[in-house]
Structure 1
């Protein structure tokens, strides 16, 4: 998957967010410890530093949601992180993102903290971020 493909997928998957540019994806992909799993329909992107993996985003094309692709890409990310020496994975998710919360709950992630008013919403008050963790 090229950085251009990643930028297109993000624009489709997150139309209300500021899209990352092809250059931003290229820069991230070039960093040591970066893990990318998925294809043109789904992408899990994150990084391993020491014994910790952090997932930066999980993107699923709207036409392919609820098909198990994100679950499979997430499992592949976790396996790659484990192989890179990570003993835990962390991420944050908007408290109102029910689909993502369900994905992470089923995958065994647990909430370890909350950041109040973290994600701004154009239609109102900012939403909390739940920080999640999974021991690998």
Structure 2
């Protein structure tokens, strides 16, 4: 995806980016939910992991990222983060669309993720992309909020970006 004039640009990331991703994660999540550089590096070392870095308007500095993985014929988004200053500009949806394309190309038939029931912005993003709730993990997060387990079948057309 090529960005220009404020449009999102998604490029692949790779291993040993833990410090960069941890800084972005810290800008997007409450303290109890942040992943540090060591945790990021551990996730990046797992088999089947994919990373997309999101930039806006040709800026070389990423303002968001998505980490996902493919296991057999399923895929999971492990985390998706967009810095507060870059929200509501299409970057989250571009990261989501990029990951869907990557995992579908690797044979995944469905994509799952977890999101806090208290995170209205993220829930709206996923709902707009065609995800549906398939489960709930009660009091999953440190703040006591539930985790919603969402799913989207791949292979069909995604709803248009809002």
TM over 0.5: yes
Contact 1:36 1:44 in 2 (8 A): yes
Q: Deviations over 1:8-41 (max 9, x none)?
A: 1011111423432222212221222101112321
The structure 1 segments of at least 4 consecutive aligned residues displaced by more than 3 Å after TM superposition are none
Task: Please give the TM-score of this superposition, normalised by the length of structure 2.
Answer: 0.77
Contact 1:37 1:73 in 2 (8 A): yes
Task: Please give the TM-score of this superposition, normalised by the length of structure 1.
Answer: 0.90
Of Structure 1 and Structure 2, which has the larger fraction of its residues in helix? 1
Contact 2:66 2:81 in 1 (8 A): yes
Of Structure 1 and Structure 2, which has the larger fraction of its residues in strand? 1
- Residue in 2 that maps onto 1:5: 20
Q: How far did 1:118 drift? A: 1.5
Rounded to whole Å, the distance in 1 between the matches of 2:67 and 2:49 is 7
Considering only aligned residues, what root-mean-square deviation do their CA atoms show, in Å? 1.3
Q: Answer yes or no: is 1:17 the counterpart of 2:32.
A: yes
Structure 2 unmatched ranges of 5 or more: 1-12, 55-61, 155-162
1:62 to 52, 59, 84: 84
Contact 1:111 1:130 in 2 (8 A): yes
- Report how many residues are paired: 132
1:1-136 equivalences under 5 Å are 1=13, 2-39=17-54, 40-121=62-143, 126-136=144-154
Structure 1 unmatched ranges of 5 or more: none
Q: How far did 1:49 drift? A: 0.4
Q: Secondary structure at the match of 1:81?
A: helix
